[in-house]
Amino acid sequence: MIKILLVDDHAVVRSGLKMLLNTNPEIEVVGEASEGNEGIKKALKLKPDVVVMDLSMPHGKDGLSATGELKKQMPEVNILILTMHDDEEYLFRAVQAGASGCILKSAPHDELMSAIESVANGNAYLHPAATKRLMEEYLGSLKHGNNDTYSLLSDREKEVLTLIAKGYSNKEIAEQLVISVKTVETHKGNLMEKLQMKTRPELVEFAVKKGLLGYGI
């Protein structure tokens, strides 16, 4: 069962989404919120698997700010941004804030279901047009020699990477950062995916080259 928290400032939209999602026996809407601050509080209390977050909420904390704050407090939560803006600026800002995916409000119902299932399983989801633009941006950055994958990491992922390179175990990292071992493993998996690495020695070599241990090669 995938537990969902809906965060949208329009009660009618929340009601419609709830009715739609509850038609899926594998999805349960466990809570609703009308703005970002309320969404953060309810997420911390209800521990949903996925937060479906509206991007534009004029009253209270907006979706981008709420996403960034919630990811700091609950790194393991998956956030799917719901937006009417088919604009790469909003897309990049949502991803930078820590969202697992982004989907248009105009998307078909079956696409929304697929997006929720995808992010619930720890995968990223972007609507097709957004994926095309991201690929174009990535290929363009490669063409211009900008391939600094380290910049893709969040501050917490950089902390985890540094401690891994220093030889700390997952349990020791969890104790140092005052987070759970599961959260450490999540961060480790995310940073390995972003850096396109599969082994600990690769991470150590990368950290040394970046000078994270105080010296480089």
Q: What is the DSSP string of the chain?
A: -EEEEEE-S-HHHHHHHHHHHTTSTTEEEEEEESSHHHHHHHHHHH--SEEEEES--SSSS-HHHHHHHHHHH-TT-EEEEEES---HHHHHHHHHHT-SEEEETTS-HHHHHHHHHHHHTT--EE-HHHHHHHHHHHHHHHHTT---GGGGS-HHHHHHHHHHHTT--HHHHHHHHTS-HHHHHHHHHHHHHHHT--SHHHHHHHHHHTTTTS---
User: What pLDDT sits at residue 180?
Assistant: 92
149-209 has the same fold as 2-138: no
User: What pLDDT sits at residue 217?
Assistant: 40
Specify the pTM. Answer: 0.61
Architecture of the domain delimited by 2-138: 3-Layer(aba) Sandwich (3.40)
pLDDT in 10s for each residue of the chain, 217 residues? 899 999 999 999 999 999 999 999 999 999 999 999 999 999 999 999 999 999 888 777 888 889 999 999 999 999 999 888 666 666 777 777 889 888 888 888 889 999 999 999 888 887 666 555 555 555 555 444 445 678 888 889 999 999 988 888 999 999 999 999 999 999 998 888 888 888 888 888 888 888 887 644 4
Fold exhibited by the domain 149-209: Arc Repressor Mutant, subunit A (1.10.10)
User: What pLDDT sits at residue 144?
Assistant: 46
Q: Are strands 2-7 and 50-54 parallel, antiparallel or unpaired?
A: parallel
Domain boundary assignment for the chain: 2-138, 149-209
